[in-house]
Amino acid sequence: MLRRSILFLSRQPKLAAFVRDNRLAKRFASRFVAGETIEDAVRAVRELNAQGITATMDLLGESVTSAEEAAAVADEYVRLLDRMQTERLQGNVSVKLTAMGQDIAEAVCLTNIGTVLQRARSHDSFVRLDMESSEYTEKTLQLFRDKLFPEFPGQVGIVLQSYLYRTAADVEEAIATHCRVRLCKGAYREPPAVAYPRKADVDASYVRCMERLLRDGTYPGIATHDEKILAHARAFVEREGIARDRFEFQMLYGVRRDLQQQLVRDGYRVRVYVPYGTQWYPYLMRRLAERPANVMFILGNLVRETIGKRR
């Protein structure tokens, strides 16, 4: 119930404007977001690299409403890829197709993502297409399958979400076409017509898809902070004799740093998703929805600040 309410609020633009200017919300966001500028993101990635962790950098922002805005986002990604190259950072980028103009016109989106992919190719880098809500799943996978992957096979990969019923079939298709998949549970509010309503089913689906990808997939990204699933993955690769350079674990910036470091110490590859930029409101709300205890953390701070002011 709380998760659904938070995800509903994540789509309210007026609240977004209010929260973005709120000091406390900004402070809380800094736990999950590297900062507002490219410099902030580069600093965060340098720190991760020093700990043996690679990164995927995400310029925050979702659907854009004009072709100019979409082109500006693509330009920022190009600058980001150049910067990663000159600084020799260990990382790649994650991109949302709606930020490339998917809601404006397919041609606009293709031009922009094409620009980013060409630059990624010239730097021998990689672009992950983040997956958004289910209204975009088919469109995104179709564009990937028909246009992007055939032209940039080494540069582009997808994300599949275990909460969707369709994902088991999408995993099989990805295995057959040898494309790279990041597997996550899914962060959006979805109807029972398309997604498992019960968490236990989402988790079970995750484990099934993960085993398929670990055994037969192409360098899958196992994106989760779920300790039980991580333990399952470790036992599975051990038992199946799957080498540690055939997959990687992925986690979000600021979430379970203890687990991130433990995995590195144990000799696994770990990549952290590093978001930055001014448009952090919907991202922050999805992180809150994943862990209602985060809401209590904010409320606790609010109460402490209010009491502090009275004193």
Q: Which residues are catalytic?
A: 130, 182
Among residues 188, 196, 281, 283, the one that binds ligand FAD under rule CB under 6 A:
188
C-beta separation of 280 from 29 below 8 A: yes
Quick one: which segment of 43-51, 71-79, 218-226, 275-283 binds ligand FAD (CB under 6 A)?
A: 218-226
Q: Which of residues 107-166 bind ligand FAD (CB under 6 A)?
A: 130-131, 159, 161
Among residues 27, 79, 178, 291, the one that binds ligand FAD under rule CB under 6 A:
291
Shortest gap between Cβ of 281 and ligand FAD (angstroms)? Answer: 15
| Residue with smaller CB distance to ligand FAD, 152 or 273 | 273
Question: Residues 245-284 vs ligand FAD: string with x where CB under 6 A?
Answer: -----xxx--xx----------------x-----------
Q: Which of residues 43-102 bind ligand FAD (CB under 6 A)?
A: none
Quick one: which segment of 64-72, 149-157, 182-190, 234-242 binds ligand FAD (CB under 6 A)?
A: 182-190
| Residue with smaller CB distance to ligand FAD, 67 or 90 | 90
Among residues 34, 223, 233, 284, the one that binds ligand FAD under rule CB under 6 A:
223
| Residue with smaller CB distance to ligand FAD, 34 or 159 | 159
Among residues 180, 185, 189, 212, the one that binds ligand FAD under rule CB under 6 A:
185
Q: Which residues contact 21 (CB under 8 A, 6 or more apart)?
A: none
Residue with tokens 């973005």: 20
Rounded to whole angstroms, the Cα distance separating 89 from 210 reads 28
Note the residues at the interface with ligand FAD (CB under 6 A): 130-131, 159, 161, 182, 184-188, 223-226, 250-252, 255-256, 273, 287, 290-291, 294
